[in-house]
């Protein structure tokens, strides 16, 4: 029995012995499927199926054992062929990357564009979601990588977590704000100030709340939003202060908004997370290495080879 016949056999079992349904899934005729199974049983002098009035209804003990082994062989065959295709000269494939909107805007617009341009035969699917949802998608194996902020809720026994970028949170305010004259701010400077911050769907929100609580500060949250550019706009011609990652300064005009750093800044750590596996395919390894190379060297992307 070759690999095709093994797949015929397994499909019949998984179709609950309905030859018509199995033939439809396999895109062959029912007589051809019946003949293939009968031919194997005759040649090997074994009965794999229990029959009732000529209809398949179950597996014999030999059939049960054969079914278990057939699934193992098919699994090995499919993995072998997948690895063979991955190591061909023309790499094709798909990788699913989850990134929160803010991180995507601040750090990944350029690198993703370079990855796509350098690798036209690789499909890059980007999932733009909040950190909590991305962690759930990663656990469900619906994405291959999640690029999120530390700390995470991931179990380190099952997931890897590697730092790829680090900066800090800063305050942003209108240039006319009284605190805009200061070189640095203490966290207590924000007491009783109108704050515009992210909603609780963002990791930064929870980090800020924990920070204020640790300092016995009750923050005066005047506005919450999921949009970083709206938070910045809200500071114009008002006394609002927003707290965002420092690199956001490169994404708006600084003529009317002032960045003021903290004396004791809160780190903004971006990590690459992915599941522990015995082996990573070539595209997964390439993406991981490319991101580390991009952020640690000269921001270049080398095509997969």
SS3 readout for 204-265: HHHHHHHHHHHCCCCCEEEEEECCHHHHHHHCCCCCCEEEEEHHHHHHCCCCCEEEEEECCC
Q: Using omega within 30 degrees of 0 as the cis cutoff, is the peptide bond preceding 151 cis?
A: yes
What span, in angstroms and rounded, lies between the C-alpha atoms of 76 and 61?
Answer: 23
pTM score, two decimals? 0.65
Position 14 pLDDT exceeds 90: yes
Q: Please calculate the CA angle 86-92-95 and round it to the nearest 5 degrees.
A: 95
- pLDDT band for position 88 (cuts 50, 70, 90): low
In eight-state DSSP terms, residue 181 is: G
The secondary structure element, H or E, covering residue 93 is: strand 93-99
Task: Assign domain 167-267 one CATH number from 1.10.275.10, 3.40.1280.10, 3.40.190.290, 3.90.950.10.
Answer: 3.40.190.290
Residue spans of the domains in the chain: they are 3-86, 93-165+269-296, 167-267
- For the stretch 144-183, pLDDT in tens is 999 999 888 899 999 999 999 999 999 999 999 999 999 9
Structure-token pair, residue 85: 């295709």
Listed residue (24, 28, 27, 22) closest to 10, CA to CA: 22
CATH class of 3-86: mainly alpha
CATH topology identical between 93-165+269-296 and 167-267? yes
Listed residue (167, 169, 168, 220) closest to 193, CA to CA: 220
> What is the dotted CATH code of the domain comprising 93-165+269-296?
3.40.190.10
- For the stretch 260-270, pLDDT in tens is 999 999 999 99
What's the burial of 286, exposed, middle or buried (CB within 10 Å: 0-12/13-18/19+)?
A: buried
Most confident of 118-122, 210-214, 247-251: 210-214
């Amino acid at each position: 029995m070759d690999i095709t016949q093994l797949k015929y056999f397994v499909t019949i079992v998984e179709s609950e012995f309905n030859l018509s349904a199995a033939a439809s899934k396999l895109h062959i005729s029912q007589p051809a499927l019946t003949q293939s199974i009968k031919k194997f049983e005759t040649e090997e002098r074994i009965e794999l199926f229990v029959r009732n009035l000529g209809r398949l209804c179950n597996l014999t003990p030999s059939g049960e054992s054969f079914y278990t082994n057939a699934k193992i062989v098919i699994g090995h065959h499919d993995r072998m062929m997948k690895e063979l295709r991955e190591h061909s000269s023309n790499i094709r494939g798909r990788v699913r990357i989850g990134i929160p909107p803010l991180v995507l805007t601040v750090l990944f617009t350029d690198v993703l564009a370079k990855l796509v341009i350098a690798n036209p035969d690789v499909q890059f699917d980007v999932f733009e979601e909040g950190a909590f949802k991305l962690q759930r998608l990663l656990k469900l194996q619906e994405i291959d990588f999640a690029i999120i902020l530390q700390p995470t809720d991931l179990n380190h026994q099952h997931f890897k977590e590697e730092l790829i970028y680090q900066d800090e949170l800063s305050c942003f305010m209108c240039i006319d704000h009284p605190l805009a004259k200061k070189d640095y701010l203490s966290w207590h400077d924000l007491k009783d100030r109108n704050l515009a911050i992210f909603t609780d769907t963002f990791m930064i929100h929870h980090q800020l709340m924990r920070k204020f609580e640790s300092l016995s500060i009750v923050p005066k949250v005047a506005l919450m939003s999921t949009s970083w550019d709206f938070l910045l706009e809200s500071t114009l011609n008002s006394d609002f202060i927003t707290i965002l990652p420092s690199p956001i300064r490169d994404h708006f005009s600084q003529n009317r908004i002032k960045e003021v750093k903290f004396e004791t800044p809160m780190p903004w750590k971006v990590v690459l997370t992915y599941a522990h596996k015995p082996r990573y395919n070539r595209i997964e390894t390439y993406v991981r290495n490319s991101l580390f190379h991009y952020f640690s060297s000269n921001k270049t992307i080398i095509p997969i080879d």
